[in-house]
Structure 1
Amino acid sequence: MPRYLSLVRIDENNAPAEGPSPELMQRMGELIEEMTKAGVLLETAGLTPTAQGTRVHYEGGAISVTDGPFTETKEAVGGYAIMQCKDTAEALEWTKRFLKVHEDKWTVTCEVREIMEG
């Protein structure tokens, strides 16, 4: 069965300052448990803010290193999930369910891509 990577993108400037509510975390935990029991979720994690990140860029034979935060970035990858699904449609259905556990004050975008094997 193919594996899929869901990149969870958020706008750090517009995310709720208090972070996820306890209710959101409970719904998220329940969904993660369901996905794990279904054999779909292989791995998931949130990422630290871009202020704690570093970018390493390669161009024209030269490498540059820039410490965060990256103020020019509108959306940052805030987390990820690796899923094993029968097809893209199933991966998208699980991703939609993930997005629906969020409250209306959140703006979240997931980019779902199949992982190339071999």
Structure 2
Amino acid sequence: MRFMIIVKSNPEFEAETAPQSPDEKLMAAMADYHEQLSKAGVLLDASGLQPSYKGWRIHYEGGKRTVIDGPFAESKELIAGFTTIQVRSREEALEWSRRFPNPVGENAQAVIEVRQLYELDDFSPSESVERFRKMNTPSQK
């Protein structure tokens, strides 16, 4: 079972105009946490995202696609980063997520959200699902 731990953005993250010197205590806590995930063999990926002013959205309406450049107003709806883990159960994912360091710093208000990823086995068998399965299978060399 794969789960994504989503770090919600905030106005300070979105206001960043250049990479800043990170809070060393927070960076150490994040490094410790992700090192524990790695040693446990459950870490798949972890990354921070740059502010939304460097991004864009694609809006779909009928057959039309419109590009909307950032920044985006509602920072509480944005994602600042993520960690993806693979564990045996929802309970194990919950336990790991409870240990996630506060992404803003101790005693600050912050939110992380945890969502389970779909697996191909969650879908009814079909030609399209098999195409995805082939894409996700390492080639035999």
Name the structure 2 match of 1:25. 27
Identity, in percent, stands at 39
Instruction: Give distance in 1, aligned partners of 2:110 and 2:86.
Output: 22
CA contact (8 A) 1:5 1:114 kept: yes
Does residue 87 of the first structure (1) align with residue 86 of the second (2)?
Answer: no
Could you tell me which amino acid in structure 1 is paired with residue 107 of structure 2?
Answer: D
Report the Cα offset of residue 19 of structure 1: 7.0
Secondary structure, aligned partner of 1:34: helix
CA contact (8 A) 1:99 1:108 kept: no
Secondary structure, aligned partner of 1:91: helix
Higher helix share: 2
Name the structure 1 match of 2:59. 57
Instruction: Give distance in 2, aligned partners of 1:74 and 1:41.
Output: 26
From 26, 42, 45, the counterpart of 2:44:
42
Instruction: Give distance in 1, aligned partners of 2:92 and 2:34.
Output: 15
**If the length of structure 2 is used for normalisation, what is the TM-score?**
0.71
Does residue 77 of the first structure (1) align with residue 79 of the second (2)?
Answer: yes
Higher strand share: 1
Structure 2 unmatched runs, 5+: 121-141
Name the structure 2 match of 1:3. 2
Number of positions where the alignment pairs a residue of Structure 1 with one of Structure 2: 115
Name the structure 2 match of 1:117. 119
Does residue 103 of the first structure (1) align with residue 106 of the second (2)?
Answer: yes
Report the Cα offset of residue 57 of structure 1: 1.3
Name the structure 1 match of 2:129. none
Instruction: Give distance in 1, aligned partners of 2:86 and 2:22.
Output: 26
Secondary structure, aligned partner of 2:100: helix
Pick the structure with greater CA Rg.
2
Could you tell me which amino acid in structure 2 is paired with residue 7 of structure 1?
Answer: I
Instruction: Give distance in 1, aligned partners of 2:58 and 2:75.
Output: 15
Secondary structure, aligned partner of 1:74: helix
